[in-house]
Amino acid sequence: MSDAEKSRKITPAVPGLYKRAVVDALIKLDPRTLIHNPVMFTVEIGSAITTLLYFQALTGTGEAPAGFIGAISAWLWFTVLFANFAEALAEGRGKAQAESLRKMRQDTTAKRLRDRYRIIKGSEPQESDFEQVLSSVLHKSDLFYVKAGDIIPVDGEILEGIASVNESAITGESAPVIRESGGDRSAVTGGTVILSDWLIVRVSANPGEGFLDRMISLIEGAKRQKTPNEIALNILLLGLTAIFLVVAAALYAFSAYSVQSVGTGTTVTITVLVALFVCLAPTTIGGLLSAIGIAGMDRLIQRNVITTSGRAIEAAGDVDVLLLDKTGTITLGNRQAVEFIPVDGTTIEDLAGIAQLASLADETPEGRSIVVLAKEKYGLRGRTVGASGPEAGMQFIPFSSQTRMSGVDQGDLHIRKGAADALFKYIESSGNGVSDELRGAVDTISRAGGTPLVVAQNGKALGVIHLKDIVKGGIKERFVQLRKMGIKTIMITGDNRLTAATIAAEAGVDDFLAEATPESKLKLIREYQAGGRMVAMTGDGTNDAPALAQADVAVAMNTGTQPAREAANMIDLDSNPTKLIEIVEIGKQLLMTRGALTTFSIANDIAKYFAIIPVAFASTYPSLAALNILGLHNGILAAVIFNAVIIVALIPLALRGVNYRAMSAEEALRNNVLIYGVGGIIAPFIGIKIIDMLLIFLGV
**What Å distances lie between residue 491 and 14, 321, 481, 500, CA to CA?**
43, 11, 16, 8
- β-bridge partners, 163: 179
Catalytic residue among 298, 325, 495, 692: 325
Q: Which residues contact 376 (CB under 8 A, 6 or more apart)?
A: none
Closest CA to 439 of 423, 459, 417: 423
CA gap 216, 97 in Å, rounded: 8
Nearest Cα to 407, choosing from 335, 494, 465, 347? Answer: 465
What single-letter amino acid sits at 67? G
Cα–Cα distance between 311 and 228 in angstroms, integer? 7
- Widest pairwise Cα distance in the chain: 122
Q: How far apart are CA 363 and CA 674, in angstroms?
A: 58
303 in Cβ contact with 555 (< 8 Å): no
Alpha carbon separation from 574 to 101, 302, 324, 577 (Å, rounded):
17, 11, 17, 9
Closest C-alpha to 205, from 223, 195, 219, 191: 191
Name the E strands within 393-519: 395-397, 405-410, 413-419, 451-457, 460-471, 488-492, 511-513
| Separation between Cα atoms, residue 615 and residue 624, nearest integer Å | 8
325 is catalytic: yes
With H, G, I as helix, E, B as strand and everything else as coil, classify residue 306.
strand
Cα dihedral 399, 402, 403, 407, rounded to 10, equals -10
Long-range contacts, stretch 524-530, CB < 8 angstroms, 24+ apart = 524/323, 524/490, 525/323, 525/550, 525/551, 526/550, 528/321
Helix, strand, or coil here: 407? strand
Beta-bridge mates of residue 537? 323, 554
Determine phi and psi for 41, rounding to 5 degrees: -65, -40
User: What are the CA-CA distances from residue 69 to residues 2, 204, 274, 622, 664 (Å)?
Assistant: 53, 61, 11, 22, 49
Query: What are the residues whose beta carbons fall under 8 Å from the beta carbon of 354, sequence distance 6 or more?
Result: 415, 455, 457, 462
φ, ψ for residue 422 (rounded to 5)? -65, -40
Query: Which has the closest alpha carbon to 295: 676, 683, 650, 29?
Result: 650
Cβ–Cβ < 8 Å for 153, 184: no
Please name the amino acid found at residue 261: S
Q: Quick one: DSSP state of residue 151?
A: B
Identity (one letter) of the amino acid at 237? L
Q: Is 179 helix (H, G, I), strand (E, B) or coil?
A: strand
Q: Which helix (H) or strand (E) holds 585?
A: helix 579-616
CA distance 191 to 151: 6
Task: Please state, in angstroms and rounded to a whole number, the distance separating the CA atoms of residues 50 and 55.
Answer: 9
**Any residues with CB less than 8 A from the CB of 519 and at least 6 apart, and which?**
none
**Torsional class of 328: left (φ above 0), alpha (ψ -120 to 50), beta (otherwise):** left
Catalytically annotated residues: 325
